[in-house]
Amino acid sequence: MNRNKIELPTAGLSGDTVIARLRELKEGDVSWRNGRIFGYIYHPGDREAKVIEQAYHMFCNENALNPSLFSSLRKLENETVAMVAGLLHAGDDYAGNMTTGGSESILVAVKTARDHARKHKPEVTHPEMIAPVTIHPAFSKAAAITGIKVRYAHAGEDKRVDVADLEKLINRNTILITASAPCFPYGVIDPIEELGEAALKNGLLFHVDSCLGGLMLPFLEDLGYKLPRSDFRVKGVTSVSADVHKYGYAPKGASVIIYRSHEIRRFQYFVMSSWPGGLYASPTMLGTRSGAPMAAAWAALITIGRDGYVRMADAVMKSTSAIKSGIESIPGLKIIADPAMSIFAFTSEKHDIFRIGDELAKRGWNLDKLQFPSALHMTVSFHNTGHEDEFLAALKDAVADVEGDKIQKVYSHVLISTVKAMSKFLPVKWFRKITSGFTGSEKKPEKGAATSGAAAYAMMMAIDNRENVEDIMLDVLDKLYTL
Ligand SMILES: *Cc1c(COP(=O)(O)O)cnc(C)c1O
List, for residues 65-100, the tens digit of each pLDDT value. Answer: 999 999 999 999 999 999 999 999 999 999 999 999
Rg (the chain; Cα; Å): 24
Which residues of the chain, if any, have pLDDT below 50? Answer: 439-451
Q: Give the atom of ligand 1 at the shortest distance from the alpha carbon of 252.
A: 7
**Among 212, 217, 247, which is best to mutate for testing ligand 1, by the most ligand atoms less than 8 A from CB?**
212
Going by C-beta distance under 8 Å and a sequence separation of 6 or more, which residues neighbour residue 99? 105, 108, 255, 256, 257, 284, 285, 286
Buried-exposed string 141-152: b where 16+ CB fall within 10 A, e elsewhere:
ebbeebebebeb
Determine which residue's CA is closest to atom 3 belonging to ligand 1.
102
Q: Quick one: CA dihedral 100, 106, 109, 113, positive or negative?
A: negative
Q: Give the atom of ligand 1 at the shortest distance from the alpha carbon of 106.
A: 10
Phi, psi of 379 (to 5 degrees): -120, 110
**Among 243, 256, 284, which is best to mutate for testing ligand 1, by the most ligand atoms less than 8 A from CB?**
243
Q: Give the atom of ligand 1 at the shortest distance from the alpha carbon of 101.
A: 7
Q: Is residue 133 within 8 Å of residue 152, measured between CB atoms?
A: yes
Q: Give the atom of ligand 1 at the shortest distance from the alpha carbon of 245.
A: 7
Q: Give the atom of ligand 1 at the shortest distance from the alpha carbon of 180.
A: 13
Strands 333-335 and 128-132, sheet pairing: unpaired
CA of 212 to the centre of ligand 1 (A): 7
Sheet holding 375-379, edge to edge: 333-335, 343-348, 375-379, 368-370
Distance CA 185, CA 18 (A): 39
CA of 405 to the centre of ligand 1 (A): 37
3-state secondary structure the chain: CCCCCCCCCCCCCCHHHHHHHHHHHHHCCCCCCCCCECCCCCCCCHHHHHHHHHHHHHCCCCECCCCCCCHHHHHHHHHHHHHHHHHCCCCCCCEEEEECCHHHHHHHHHHHHHHHHHHHCCCCCCCEEEEECCCCCHHHHHHHHHCCEEEEECECCCCCECHHHHHHCCCCCEEEEEEECCCCCCCCCCCHHHHHHHHHHHCCEEEEECCCCCCCHHHHHHCCCCCCCCCCCCCCCCEEEEECCCCCCCCCCCEEEEECCHHHHHHHCEEECCCCCCCEEECCCCCCCECHHHHHHHHHHHHHHHHHHHHHHHHHHHHHHHHHHHHHCCCCEEECCCCCCCEEEEEECCCCHHHHHHHHHHCCCECEEECCCCEEEEECCHHHCCCHHHHHHHHHHHHHHHHHCHHHHHHHHHHHHHHHHHCCCCCHHHHHHHHHHHHCCCCCCCCCCCCCCHHHHHHHHHCCCHHHHHHHHHHHHHHHCCC
Pocket of ligand 1 (CB under 6 A): 101-103, 136, 138, 180, 184, 209, 211-212, 243, 255
**Among 106, 161, 209, which is best to mutate for testing ligand 1, by the most ligand atoms less than 8 A from CB?**
209
Distance CA 26, CA 418 (A): 40
Distance CA 137, CA 103 (A): 9
Distance CA 455, CA 260 (A): 47
Strands 95-99 and 255-259, sheet pairing: antiparallel
Neighbours of 288 (CB within 10 A): 9
Determine which residue's CA is closest to atom 5 belonging to ligand 1.
102
Q: Is residue 298 within 8 Å of residue 79, measured between CB atoms?
A: yes
Q: Give the atom of ligand 1 at the shortest distance from the alpha carbon of 182.
A: 13
**Among 40, 99, 107, 136, which is best to mutate for testing ligand 1, by the most ligand atoms less than 8 A from CB?**
136
CA of 139 to the centre of ligand 1 (A): 10
Predicted local distance difference test score (pLDDT) of residue 447: 46
Q: Give the atom of ligand 1 at the shortest distance from the alpha carbon of 102.
A: 5
- pTM of the entire predicted model: 0.93
CA of 8 to the centre of ligand 1 (A): 35
**Among 160, 189, 211, 252, which is best to mutate for testing ligand 1, by the most ligand atoms less than 8 A from CB?**
211
Q: Which of 60, 49, 86, 57 has the alpha carbon at shortest distance from 303?
A: 49
Q: Distance from CA of residue 279 to its chain's centroid?
A: 35
Determine which residue's CA is closest to atom 8 belonging to ligand 1.
102
Predicted local distance difference test score (pLDDT) of residue 443: 44
Q: Which of 233, 228, 253, 234 has the alpha carbon at shortest distance from 243?
A: 253
